[in-house]
Amino acid sequence: MEYIPGSTIRKILQKFGPIKGDRLKDFTRQITEGLNYLHSQNVAHINVMSRNIILMLNDVIKIVDFDYADEYNYLNEKQDIKDLGVTILEMATGKDLSFTVESLKSEHSPSQGIFVHS
């Protein structure tokens, strides 16, 4: 397990509102690169959402929560791409667009960081 200091994108949106301009482009690029890497390793995340993306203190993005991860295939790739699109819209609008049971789980305080399996 690895400790990742920082906060989820969801918590950042709740506190500061939408992410705009170059910062939105940078976060989108980093998330996309992370998903591309996972797919190249034959892994699909399947649960990409603002609650599962951590912004570390150095502005580096980490994708976390691999509980639903599965072997990469066409359908799982489509799910990751759809989830990425929803996450980009969430970042751009500041609105919570995740309507899953996962969204009801409590989140850690941004000052506490997040523990994830590495």
Secondary structure of residue 11 in the 3-state scheme: helix
Percent of the chain with pLDDT over 90: 62
| Cα 68 to Cα 14, 20, 45, 65, distances in angstroms | 25, 29, 7, 8
Tokens of 110: 């941004």
Q: In the prediction, which pLDDT does 41 show?
A: 94
Instruction: Please compute the mean of the pLDDT values over residues 16-20 and round it to a whole number.
Output: 96
Contact 8, 105 (CB under 8 A): no
pLDDT tens for residues 50-108? 999 999 999 999 999 888 888 989 898 999 999 999 999 999 999 988 665 344 444 44
Q: In the prediction, which pLDDT does 99 show?
A: 61
Residue type, 114: I
User: Domains along the chain?
Assistant: 2-116 (1.10.510.10)
Q: In the prediction, which pLDDT does 3 show?
A: 76
| Short-list 41, 39, 101, CA closest to 76 | 39
Q: In the prediction, which pLDDT does 108 show?
A: 42
Q: In the prediction, which pLDDT does 85 show?
A: 94
As a whole number, the mean pLDDT across the chain is: 84
Q: What distance in Å separates the CA atoms of residue 72 and residue 59, rounded to the nearest whole number? A: 28
Q: In the prediction, which pLDDT does 4 show?
A: 76
Q: What distance in Å separates the CA atoms of residue 88 and residue 24, rounded to the nearest whole number? A: 8
Higher-pLDDT residue of 106, 43:
43
Query: Does the predicted TM-score (pTM) go above 0.85?
Result: no
Q: In the prediction, which pLDDT does 96 show?
A: 87
Q: What distance in Å separates the CA atoms of residue 102 and residue 51, rounded to the nearest whole number? A: 9
